[in-house]
Amino acid sequence: MAFLKQVVSSVQTSRLPALRAFVERMYSKPVDKEHLERIVKSVQGTSEDTGLALLLGRLGFRAHLEQIQAPALVVISGKNSRRETIAAKAKELKSVEVQVFEEAGHALFVDESPRFNLLVENFISRLESKP
């Protein structure tokens, strides 16, 4: 709750700096300023209500992992404080592959795009080759 109060307060008092800080924290590796500004501009298109709803929704996503019936690829940032809990829960499920990107931030598909892209391509290829 303290985290949520902090987020709400920072967004209400200084939305643009709060969004910029949020975007910058998504990356573990340096990203060029043009990219960051493009993402900040895009994020500004999300209303405060919608953003907070998305944040609240993600807090309970682990409760839904057991509902996954299809093969799934769970990719976790090594910077995620709950990575071990998420990985352990995901590994309990059938047909779930878990990969942790130790040096990547939340936007691991940017921080480690070659590895991420290859991982997704290989996952899809394995699915396509199954009868």
**Domain range list for the chain:** 1-59, 64-131
The pair of three-digit structure tokens given for residue 122, joined into one six-digit string: 């290989």
At residue 117, the pLDDT reads: 97
- Which tens digits make up the pLDDT trace of 26-69? 999 999 999 999 999 998 888 877 877 777 666 555 556 667 77
Query: What is the helix (H) or strand (E) element at residue 77, kind and residue range?
Result: strand 72-77
- DSSP codes joined into one string, 13-39: H-HHHHHHHHHHHT-SS---HHHHHHH
Tell me the sheet residues that pair with 113. none
Percentage of the chain with pLDDT > 90? 38
Averaged pLDDT, 65-84: 84
Averaged pLDDT, 75-100: 87
Rounded CA gap, 129 and 131, in Å?
A: 6
